[in-house]
Structure 1
């Protein structure tokens, strides 16, 4: 069980809980803060004080005073009116990540919500009641109001949810899981939906995927490099030391470790003077992406451990402050950054694929990596697929965060579009998995010919050999044309599961 306290959730925690289903619970300190915050809110209600979202309407209705007898109805109406999402549903693991991140934000004790309401959300997460949440509708500025409202709707016993792999009415799903629906009290509806948890959930899982792809690209890249008799001098630590970007140096170290013992790599001037940029500049390109991922991780881990509600309840100081922590700009900009960074992994990978299959560039390997070329097309069209995906990634990398459309009668006059940015970043990550799978397919095929040509059955580096064997355990050598979609799908699974990286790191140690 992961104990939630609002302070130290990591990207790995989010992935483990959302994807693998690890249970969560609240820390004693969080319980104390939650109760203290709620007591203060109830005191405000008794005194009849005017506080946004507690005794007033929302957005442009912030100046409409709500009577004490209508505060409960106000919260219910809020959730119902804001449940207006459209489009495909988010995958279950993303919704689970949203639930987790909302629990973590509420655990900080600045939202004025009852402990029992948070415990309902925890029970839903732990027992596998996953609301159906449409992926479109958030502007990413008053928080992710629309997607989070669909979660709160199920908490109330409305909407729809997945339970035991079946789509059910929310009330039935809760009943089957032994969970009582929540009757929202003052401030609670707002506390459940005002925050950046949808964009942060998508962003956290996209980032977890990108971290894995950063290592996969190093592995697939050096396998291609080795199959193309790459010049190892470019990875010399002296070259990296005089341009000391951390990611660049990490990549060069990874490459040297992966290639240790290789008899296929060459030295400067041995067969050629220089390699093309897609090979020679891998430390610089992959390294810049590692640095980007590191920066994005720092921003996201601040965000997922922040209070993003409005208004915020400072019970110790007896203050309620309306601010802007719900605005998704920090996440939005960094999700656009992630799209750009991961797109570049695919971009340079496709250039290596082209070099592998092109007989004018592949250092003596057969055209399109197949015997009886002409009768067989081999891996010719795999490069087409990679190119199509790379082109799609470029369109997805156009920034969402530079756009803004005012809402709520211009009360909310600048918005982040952060959830759109996060969804695009996730799609770029998914696309890049397939490009790297195609590179692995081509690089392993090229290696088959290189081994055959040299007669060196132990020619590979220790890390590249582990990668090559992992590929060959999943897909056989292509000896004549066959449909390759299944091969790519299988290798994409090898990548996404983390198995490829685990297999290689078991041999060479942890890659940076």
Structure 2
């Protein structure tokens, strides 16, 4: 995969997250070299320039002599590598590295070609720095995690190779790579920026897009199980309101019910005048979630193609301009939107599960078991779904409304983007399990309508599930069933079986 910095599409960032090894467009070489040459000229002039020959943050007024400039850059990396907690998942860490590579390669950061070449080589050779995931407040850059990434490039700390933690110097040597020796500005350029927060936010977005699509499938399966109507998905209803996500969602739901014998069986004698909101309002709720995800995607792709370290180098005038591109407020807002969308998609799915197990609402046997009383059926899986949804509600509180001053009040407003983005993995995992439970419950509900069948799409999903999980006749150990159904959600099986569905970048 060739990265063209500043113009990298959403699909390419997803491919990197899924394991693709990116390489830089050779056309970047000129801009990288020009930026490094500009730093050399700035150093030669001797005037104080933040981040090149001064201290950092509150210590910006301290002048550093020429003989100490290399030590200055190494010191900032080691001192800022102060993260704690579990290491970043390898796919997210690799995405962070690719984001940093694309940013540096735009020629505004002052790093040398050898520096971008090492980062590129580590990606190519599967060398992923072990980066503690906690320690960034999302302003002045994701300093601590990016410092750990950079420390690995210096041969300090650990690198993950084929799932094993290896001392960084050893891992680099094993791939025929030498540790980096930093030049002026390079340490700061590498550890300043929003790439940690953006990587986690993008990863959350990729998972949220899959969950949105999966929830359309489980939602239609539940609609069929409850003998719901497709009238609320009529295109004329949604055209009158005009929201694009709602229109696209209704169209997908309507198509997935096409030629359903279950739907046809009650078209002329529906008992309910209107279905519960969890069925009827799927286009409105899921469509609103889709619109949020699309807005977040636009923000994150812009961020991924930008430059967010400080100061920025302008070779045409040999200027180093200090600003605040490292402030991750756009990423924080995007992460909050993704969190809310994930939370609501799971919440709506849980309401459908609750509806299905309630005979007064669904018209099905209590708790979806043929022998209620002797058997509890889906009683406790619904409780589990409720617990997961409540946990997600707590996690989804906006992170961006929080701030805490750092660096002796020099950095007095921060975005909390790192925390806001990092929680998305946990929220998505909970939503996956809720959809797995809904898949089981909805398929069980449809089994009671035999020999009637649903649409080709829904029947393909049911068949795939029944290859792994048989119909529940008497109570059995439920956890393995839930795990198998959830795996179908996380692995994208439902999305693959459903065919073309709306996405965040279409």
Deviation at 1:474, TM superposition (A): 2.5
2:428 corresponds to: 429
2:252 corresponds to: 254
Separation in 2, partners of 1:121, 1:104 = 10
Find out whether 1:282 has 2:299 as its counterpart: no
2:293 corresponds to: 293
2:144 corresponds to: 146
- Segment drifting more, 481-490 vs 156-165: 481-490
Separation in 2, partners of 1:268, 1:236 = 17
- Segment drifting more, 250-259 vs 471-480: 471-480
Separation in 1, partners of 2:283, 2:162 = 46
Find out whether 1:361 has 2:361 as its counterpart: yes
2:383 corresponds to: 384
2:9 corresponds to: 10
1:319 corresponds to: 319
Find out whether 1:238 has 2:236 as its counterpart: yes
Deviation at 1:83, TM superposition (A): 0.5
Show CA shifts across 1:376-418 (max 9, x none).
2111100000000000000001111111111111111100010
Runs of 4+ in 1 over 6 A off after TM superposition: none
Indicate if the aligned counterparts of 2:249 and 2:287 stay in contact, CA closer than 8 A. Answer: yes
Structure 1 residues 56 and 227, CA gap change in structure 2 (3 angstroms): same
Q: 1:117 aligns with which of 115, 133, 144?
A: 115
Deviation at 1:231, TM superposition (A): 1.5
Separation in 1, partners of 2:215, 2:359 = 23
Deviation at 1:28, TM superposition (A): 2.5
Deviation at 1:510, TM superposition (A): 4.3
Separation in 2, partners of 1:37, 1:75 = 17
Please show how residues 410-449 of structure 1 align to structure 2 within 5 Å.
410-449=409-448
Indicate if the aligned counterparts of 2:343 and 2:396 stay in contact, CA closer than 8 A. Answer: yes
Separation in 2, partners of 1:269, 1:137 = 60
- Segment drifting more, 50-59 vs 491-500: 491-500
Report how many aligned residue pairs link the two structures.
501
1:503 corresponds to: 497
1:209 corresponds to: 207
- The alignment partner of 2:60 has SS state of helix
Show CA shifts across 1:251-299 (max 9, x none).
1100111000012224486222100100000000000001001000000
Q: 1:169 aligns with which of 167, 190, 197?
A: 167
Show CA shifts across 1:411-430 (max 9, x none).
11100010000012222112
- The alignment partner of 1:167 has SS state of strand
Please show how residues 53-132 of structure 1 align to structure 2 within 5 Å.
53-132=51-130
Show CA shifts across 1:97-128 (max 9, x none).
11011001111110000110111111111111
Find out whether 1:41 has 2:35 as its counterpart: no
Separation in 2, partners of 1:482, 1:172 = 50
Deviation at 1:511, TM superposition (A): 4.4
Separation in 2, partners of 1:173, 1:375 = 59
Indicate if the aligned counterparts of 1:5 and 1:108 stay in contact, CA closer than 8 A. Answer: no
Unaligned runs of 5+ in 2: none
Find out whether 1:343 has 2:337 as its counterpart: no
Separation in 1, partners of 2:153, 2:441 = 49
Separation in 2, partners of 1:194, 1:128 = 23
2:224 corresponds to: 226
Indicate if the aligned counterparts of 1:233 and 1:267 stay in contact, CA closer than 8 A. Answer: no
- The alignment partner of 2:313 has SS state of strand
1:493 corresponds to: 487
The two structures have a TM-score, normalised by structure 1, of 0.96
Separation in 2, partners of 1:164, 1:272 = 56
Unaligned runs of 5+ in 1: none
Computed over aligned residues only, the root mean square deviation of the Cα atoms, in angstroms, reads 1.3
